[in-house]
Structure 1
Amino acid sequence: MRRTTATTIVVALAAGLTGIALMPRVTRLSAHATGDADLVAAARAAVRDPSGHRGLAVALVENGRIRTAGLGDRDLTGGPVEPGTSFEIGSVTKVLTGMLLADQAAAGVVHPDDPLVATWPTVTGPARDVTLAELASHRAGLPRLAPGGILGWARILWSNFSGGNPYAGQDTDATRSAADRVTPDDDKRGEVHYSNLGPSVLGHALAAKAGVAYADLLRARLLQPLGMNATVIATRADDLPTGRAEGGRAAGRPLDTWSGVGYAPAGVGPWSTAEDLGRLAAATLAGTAPGADAATARFRRDADTRIGYGWFTTRHGNHEVVWHNGATGGFRSYVGFERATGRAVVVLGNTDRGVEPIGLRLLGVPEQEAGEAAAATSVWIGAGLAVAFTFLGGLSLLGTARRRELDRVTLAAAVVWAFAYLGLAHRMGDWSVVPVWLWPLGAGLSAAGAALAMPRWSALPVVDALVPWRRLLSVGSSLLAAVLAVAAVSD
């Protein structure tokens, strides 16, 4: 007995030491720097905690002058971020779509109060009567996403679990079909309720009116006039810009890029640079950008925030900032400007840690007003996954190994799950919140359980059940689930 206990302790310690070498590595902003040296220094000062960030691209507009800088790494190989490095910009695209509406209205092509059906006649459902202005300002009463039924939600949940693209396969017809199926909520219509579906419908409607694709209309009316030549919409993997940043979680896990057509006007697929978005911010602030009037605040969301066509305007103490942010699987973005100071800022990051506070600090908003970055998901969810998965498998294995009635297939499944849970904790847990040294402890616990169980192996029956095939089927499906779960989160 003493020998078994000593062996278990030795195995646990060895596994724990090995786990130290293998434990999760939280991303951290490196010392790499490119571009304007003064802006690099200012941006670093605005980053209160470099952990959770991998790379940042920044642009600052002051007195009509645009300065740009890159900080940290654009990818896992350590390549430096440069001002011209492309990032996914997510929902910042919504301001481009709002500016398209303002531009087309100024050209007399559409009117903001036109019903959707006047611009996109093929939409025949109840949403046909919502106005273009309502779509641009999240006041159409449409849901955040298109209703997709059980299979649609299952696809989104699986994408979130596996780190994939939740919008894969969504094209323009899918967006039009969603507009046909959905019924605007009369209780919410006229009030600001954030929606990805609304701006997507608006963008494709404006494109349909012009007889071109959304990406082509955006390029012709907004991007080319502003010289935003590095801004692209990736509808396929082949469209991804070269030398782009690679996105991932703050805890270090790489994630797939998002691409597609259906939700492109809301932020799925667009890539841009700090240089390009600096041009956008400067021209919008100066009022010279096509559709710059979209930034005019027209409707109230709450006591501190109003909205125009895509652009939000929020008061932070004595500062009134016009802005929009963006979030995709592994990227965060922020564009904001303040008319009173004539200052504008762009901050792009390639993890899921928010960059809004960095942008606000660069605009001069006081610390207490700038706040901290909101987590991509609840902090407790990521922390809970890290702790639970780290110890759940080992504790379960220890319990299984001590059972009087036991067979080999049950024990084998418990061992597989003990280390599968470790893999899930490594990849899915938020280790930017939870101390990473907990993971080697979990590795030691799982190894201790295995060491405790192995001496019993030769004396155990293969299957100890009245109906062996049922036990085999149950254990087989459990093992398959473990393999699939780990495979889904591995890259």
Structure 2
Amino acid sequence: MNLPAKTIIASLGAVAVFVIGMAAMPQPLQLSDRTLGDPELLTEVRAHIAATPGARDRLSVAVIDGESLRFAHFGASDTTEYEIGSVTKTITAALLADAIARGEVEANTHLGSILDLGSSPSSALTLEELATQSSGLPRVAMSLDKLPSILVALVLSRDPYGSTLEELIADARDVHVGGKAYRYSNLGFALLGQALAKKAGTPFPTLAEERIFRPLGMESSYVPMSKNDLRDGAPSGYTSSGRATDPWTLGADAPAGSARSTLPDMTDYVRAYMDGTAPGIGATEPRRPAGARSRIGYGWHITGEVTWHNGMTGGFASWIGFDRGADRAVVILTNTSNSVDSLGLSLMGAE
């Protein structure tokens, strides 16, 4: 018996939906019971996580109080690698502050003087506007031709980014630029990082290595821009419902969120901001309003006395913050895309 073409197409569509649904089906996942670290901190973290919904697996936490350092690992160790997501923006922001100190650029340098943006509105944006999330750029450059591939990537837990530098610049030429109020933009930080790299005459991952990671002894930290850049054994993570995800390397958007690191490296990183030795330390100075209760420096948000940033990719979440007055800092890294913001604020005593 021959089936009508419409029936065949409908059947194939149903099969496709079923296959995608099976691939997306979440797996049971909970916080690992393999632990290492300070008993009290382990107990405090476990209790907080137990009260929040969603899949959990590996989790690493560091709490600094003056000269004291406590840590807690769940299913992890000091060598466990995590995607730090948008905490990468603090690295890009530090590179801006450092480049200003070196005399390579100025805060009011126009983006179009570095990248070929023609006469587009984006060309008139300043580096400081990009760094303080007040450029008016949208979170991402979105168009109808990109939408299908982005939706497929999200459904299948793949990296939805991956533009080349040429494509990123083309997006910046075409994108609508809005008002200059606070508006969080991954696109803005991708352009900022690529502009700084071009000005320095080196790829962005090399720039981060030479000016941030190496001076701070962060040997386990790096910025991949493709899967080929991942180190051997680089782990992937899980969605908030427990689906395995591909790594996010982001292509030319890497300055907005593709860095990978470990708990010891990020602890050294935040210590350097605490004691004032971090390259580009000026990035933490508050410069503009960022909502009703916060201000923003270059990348870093300042709420009350806490300077912080969070991060999230398709399979990881992170939070880093410090209070110089209280001499306290917190680093949290996890391999599921469930927010750890409330845990970070709680451990900072700011919740």
**1:329 and 2:314 equivalent?**
yes
Aligned counterparts of 1:24 and 1:277: Cα–Cα separation in 2: 30
Q: What's 2:140 paired with?
A: 145
Partner of 1:283: 272
156, 159, 167: which one aligns with 1:162: 156
Equivalent position of 1:176 in the other structure: 169
Q: Name the SS of the counterpart of 2:144 in structure 1.
A: helix
Contact 2:318–2:340, Cα closer than 8 Å, also in 1: yes
Alpha carbons of structure 1 residues 105 and 24: separation in structure 2 relative to 1, 3 Å? closer
- Alignment CA distance shift 1:235-1:57 (3 Å): same
Name the residue aligned to 2:345: 360
Residue 65 of structure 2 is aligned to residue 62 of structure 1: yes
Partner of 1:340: 325
Unaligned runs of 5+ in 1: 1-22, 72-79, 371-491
The match for 2:124 among 110, 118, 129 is 129
- CA shift, 1:44, in A, is 2.5
CA drift at 1:180: 1.8
Answer whether contact 1:46 1:362 (CA < 8 A) is retained.
Answer: no
Mapped contact 2:41–2:70 kept (Cα < 8 A) = yes
Contact 1:115 1:131 in 2 (8 A): yes
Question: Would you say the 8 A contact 1:61–1:345 is kept in 2?
Answer: yes
Distance (whole Å) between structure 1 residues aligned to residue 167 and residue 69 of structure 2: 39
Q: Cα offset for 1:86?
A: 0.6
- Provide the C-alpha distance between the structure 2 equivalents of 1:86 and 1:292, rounded to a whole number of angstroms: 25
2:153 and 2:159 in contact (8 A); partners too = yes
Amino acid at match of 2:249: S
1:309 is aligned, of 284, 289, 298, to 298
Give the greater-gyration-radius structure (CA).
Answer: 1
> Which residue pairs with 2:261 in the alignment?
272
- Determine helix, strand or coil for the equivalent of 2:71: strand
Q: Which amino acid counterpart does residue 62 of structure 1 have in structure 2? A: D
TM-score (norm 2): 0.87
What whole-Å deviation, never above 9, does each CA across 1:406-460 have from its counterpart, x for those lacking one? xxxxxxxxxxxxxxxxxxxxxxxxxxxxxxxxxxxxxxxxxxxxxxxxxxxxxxx
Letter in 2 for 1:84: T
Deviation digits for residues 302-347 of structure 1 (CA, Å, limit 9, x no counterpart)? 22111010000113xxxx2111111111111111111221111111
The structure in which a higher percent of residues are helix is 1
Structure 2 match to 1:99: 94
Contact 1:87 1:272 in 2 (8 A): yes
CA–CA distance in structure 1, aligned partners of residues 327 and 233 of structure 2: 32
Q: The residue matched to 2:318 in structure 1 has which SS?
A: strand
Q: Distance in 2 between matches of 1:282 and 1:205?
A: 28
Is the Cα–Cα contact under 8 Å of residues 208 and 223 in structure 2 kept in the other structure? no
Retained in 1: the 8 A contact 2:290–2:301? no
Counterpart amino acid of residue 329 in structure 1: G
Matches within 5 A, 1:163-242: 163-168=157-162, 170-185=163-178, 188-189=179-180, 191-242=181-232
Alignment coverage as a number of residue pairs:
325
> Judging changes above 3 Å, is the alpha-carbon distance between structure 1 residues 144 and 24 closer, same or farther for their aligned structure 2 residues?
closer
Spell out, residue by residue over 1:56-86, the C-alpha distance to the aligned partner (whole angstroms, 9 max, x if none).
0112222144443311xxxxxxxx3112211
Aligned residue for 1:473? none
- Cα distance in 1 for partners of 2:192, 2:230 equals 24
In structure 2, the CA distance between the partners of 1:166 and 1:210, relative to structure 1 (3 Å rule), is same
Q: Distance in 1 between matches of 2:98 and 2:329?
A: 21
Q: Choose the corresponding residue for 1:260, options 228, 250, 271.
A: 250
Mapped contact 2:115–2:169 kept (Cα < 8 A) = no
Separation in 2, partners of 1:89, 1:127: 28
Q: 1:350 to 1:122 in 2, by over 3 A?
A: same
Q: Are the counterparts in 2 of residues 34 and 83 from structure 1 also a CA contact under 8 Å?
A: no
Mapping for residues 443-458 of structure 1, pairs under 5 Å = none
How far the C-alpha of 1:25 sits from its partner, in A, is 4.4
Superposition deviation, residue 146 in structure 1: 1.5
Secondary structure at the aligned position of 2:137 is classed as: coil
Q: Per-residue deviation at 1:36?
A: 4.1
Deviation track 1:119-144 (CA, whole Å, cap 9, x = no partner) reads: x1422222111100000011111111
- Tell me if 1:47 matches 2:49: yes
Task: Look up the equivalent residue of 1:68 and give its one-letter code.
Answer: F
SS at match of 1:347: strand
Task: State the AA in 2 paired with 1:52.
Answer: A
Instruction: Please say if 1:31 is aligned against 2:33.
Output: yes
Distance 1:58 1:184 in 2: 38
**Higher RCO, 1 or 2 (CA under 8 Å, sep at least 6)?**
2
Instruction: Judge conservation of contact 1:33–1:81 (CA < 8 Å) in 2.
Output: yes
Compute the displacement of 1:200 (Å).
Answer: 0.5
CA deviation string 1:354-401 (max 9, x = no partner): 111111111123xxxx3xxxxxxxxxxxxxxxxxxxxxxxxxxxxxxx
**Cα gap change, 1:282 to 1:171, in 2 (>3 Å):** same
User: Please, what TM-score do these two structures have when normalized by structure 1?
Assistant: 0.63
Structure 1 pair 323/114, CA: closer, same or farther in 2 (3 Å)?
Answer: same
| Alignment match of 1:115 (pick from 91, 97, 110) | 110
Structure 1 247/210 Cα, relative in aligned 2: closer, same or farther at 3 Å? same
The CA distance in 2 between the partners of 1:66 and 1:200, in whole Å, is 33
SS in 1 for 2:213: helix
CA root-mean-square deviation: 1.8
Question: Could you tell me which amino acid in structure 2 is paired with residue 222 of structure 1?
Answer: I
Q: Which amino acid aligns with 2:160?
A: P
| Structure 2 residue matching 1:54: 3-state secondary structure | coil
